[in-house]
Amino acid sequence: MNEQLLTTATARIIAVQDDIVSIESLADTPLTKNEVIYILPSRSEAKHQERLKAEVLRIYGNRADAQVYESTQGVGVGDLVIQSDEMLSVELGPGLLGQVYDGLQNPLDLLATEFGFFLPRGVDFPPLDRNCKWAFNPCVQLGAKLFAGMSLGSVQERRFKHKIMVPFDIKGEVEVTWIQAGNVTVDEAIAKIRLTNGKEQTITLKQRWPVRKPLPQQLLRNNLSQRQYPSEPLITHLRLVDTFFPIALGGTGCIPGPFGAGKTVLQSLIARNSEVDVVIVVACGERAGEVVETISEFPLMTDPRTGGSLMDRTIIICNTSSMPVAAREASIYTGITLGEYYRQMGLNVLLLADSTSRWAQAMRETSGRLEEIPGEEAFPAYLDSSIKNIYERAGVISDLQGNNGSLTMIGTVSPAGGNFEEPVTQSTLSTVKAFLGLSADRAYKRFYPAVDPLLSWSRYLDQLNPWYQRELAPNWTEQVREVLELLAHGNSVYEMIQVAGEEGVTLEDYITYHQSLFVDMVYLQQDAFDSVDVTVPLERQKATFLLIMKLLSTEYHFSDQSQIRDYFTRLTGLFKNMNYAVWQSSEYKQLLDKIANLKA
């Protein structure tokens, strides 16, 4: 074993249970909660000295329990432990975009290049390329007085101006004593600042931040940043979401549903087509096949906003079901910290977590091994507060430099058997403000997206009403509620038809049923395989919705049910063809005329 590592060891293993180890301090070095430690297994068969990363969870006296982010095979009582004196942290700086990391921010492509398909344990790779040169352009002068989070300058990262900010852990006002433009790596100095105690600190392009600590809190204490009330919707180009169940830019939402209901497909389309600057996809516990599909597809896809590669504005945090459970629990914190970093630059960030159920299951496993008192369905008693702490890190930030950035978080939940009453779903629903409930029945009927409009809701519909009045129509929200009521009434009539047959309902109710079916078929459903219908700009959504409202308000004079059925069948066919036609094309206008002239 490396003699240098032996001399830095300050603790030893006294017990091992799966991925939980108990350690005992050998010196006066204090143990700190959430501190990162490194275990040196003496019984390992590896050719190199392994350093297994772990995180302290619980302290009692000079002993502590820690969760290990790797397999504990070969770890035994008496093995030495090195303390890092820092929390579980990520590196923040240029070079994050386009990367695929694991839950601990190890670049998976470099690991695969170095070691092949089977990744060894105890290996750390720097998250940011140490050899890449970045052209730093200062935006402040010598003697400038700054606070934590304020910009010193920028480098060009793909299509974004990546701001290099004063480290977020700096206290009080600092003075720039040296700053220089040039091509530098992330480890080279670009500036020096004088701290409040008179000492100088060198600034590089990168900095570190503990993942379990919300980044904006430090900035708020300096009165440089403040949370704003979300006032604009996240435009996803999905009619059902944008019109009926909007998610605010800087807001929170969840997509629960049973297996096979289309969560991953829906989440993928939201990632591709949403009007945001940066997308962070956290695959925490998903099956490896689904993650491989995401990793292989995104670089080949064209970004609809820029025409470049979709990976140019995407970061993927990947911890599949076959990877260590403890690292799965850390992956969401890693993703959301990266999101907060880009938000502080004034960018709009979308974080997609798939799925938070498996993240919660990882917490349940760890809690059980720590012998904590379990809550409902053996989940830890702090499950609710943990979920709230994650989603509450989303939001809109505004600073004194005029930068407005947002972090929107959408998490998928995979309740067993589609049971929305289970603890993870219920805790999530009590936290988020938009709920897109997927239905196995609608998925079986090949409805896409399979979001059940009778189960789903969005509290942003009223909150964003001023924006809708200004950008869409003065009575937009009222019209949306009318259609939702129509869908509920139509479902009631459908249930009556199932019992009494079509002859058992009145003509008026039969018209209501076909109107609701018409809205469902032509507006709620969207063809993910059609190049036109897969993404619908807000302007087209507005025109289509107002046309539907006009048709629904028409006074019909039908003599029998077959006439009603025939009319709405023809109307639905024309409308679907119009959805497939290019916006404002000659084909689109011809179909629009046919709809207007269709006789009841």
Instruction: Please check if 257 is assigned to a binding site.
Output: yes
DSSP 450-493: -B-TTT-EETHHHHTHHHHHHHT-TTHHHHHHHHHHHHHHHHHH
3-state class (DSSP) for residue 283:
strand
What angle is formed at CA 402 by the lines to CA 270 and CA 334, rounded to 5 degrees? Answer: 45
Residue 149 in marked binding region: no
* 418 annotated as belonging to a binding site for a ligand: no
491-526 residues labelled b (16+ CB within 10 A) or e (exposed)? bebeebbeeeeeeebeeebbbbbbbbbbbbbbbbbb
Beta strands in 219-331 (DSSP E): 225-228, 252-256, 278-284, 314-319
Encoding tokens for residue 409? 């978080």
> Three-state secondary structure along 43-64?
CCCCCCCCCEEEEEEEEECCEE
Instruction: Output the six-digit token pair for 408.
Output: 């929107």
- Token reading at 490: 């139509």
Residue 258 annotated as binding site: yes
Distance, in Å, from the CA atom of 23 to the CA atom of 43, rounded to the nearest integer, reads 17
Measured torsion, CA atoms of residues 194, 213, 227, 436, in degrees rounded to the nearest 10: 150
Query: Any binding-site annotation on 261?
Result: yes
Cβ neighbours of 135 (radius 10 Å): 11
Ligand-binding annotation for 259, yes or no, is yes
Taken in order 26, 28, 33, 37, the sign of the CA dihedral is: negative
Segment holding 426, helix H or strand E: helix 423-429
**Cα 270 to Cα 259, 343, 350, 439, 468, distances in angstroms:** 19, 19, 9, 18, 21
Packing angle of the helix pair 586-597, 538-552 (nearest 10 deg): 10
Residue 135, marked binder: no
Q: Tokens 């700053």 sit at which residue?
A: 179
Separation of alpha carbons 93 and 162, rounded Å: 8
Annotated binding-site ranges for ATP: 257-264
Residues that constitute the known binding site: 257-264
